Amino acid sequence: MHEHTLAKNLGYLIFKEIKENKPKKVKKIVFIIGEASAVDKEFLEHSFKEHIFKNTICQQAELVFKIEKPKIKCKKCNKEYEKAILKCDCGSISFDIMSGKDVYIETIEME
């Protein structure tokens, strides 16, 4: 379950931000999950709610998970696609994933 390890790493960044800003309350945390990241949203959310944020200032925060579609680029002709394909129009099967492969914090709403 790599989602728990990911949640721990993201939690570290969130608590670092909280320590620096000293808010009274954390209202909302927005995460971006790249569709090509192979991260399960439900497992990630469970890790936050039941393990990382339990009994902390983040326990009551609204957690929002946005899915980011992947963008891929052909390594041969540089044509970009916004959907999964097996073969480029030029015939190449070699691609770079330009976006939609990462998981990150978009915003932390504090008061």
In DSSP terms, 33 is beta-bridged to 67, 103
pLDDT at 88: 96
pLDDT tens, residue by residue, 13-37: 999 999 999 999 999 999 999 998 9
Spell out the domains of the chain, with CATH numbers in brackets: 2-110 (3.30.2320.80)
pLDDT tens, residue by residue, 33-90: 999 899 999 999 999 999 999 999 999 999 999 999 999 999 999 999 998 789 999 9
DSSP letters, 6-71, are HHHHHHHHHHHHHHHH--S-EEEEEEEEEGGG---HHHHHHHIIIIISTTSTTTT-EEEEEEEPPE
User: What's phi and psi for 89, nearest 5 deg?
Assistant: -60, -25
- Helix H or strand E segment including 4: helix 2-21
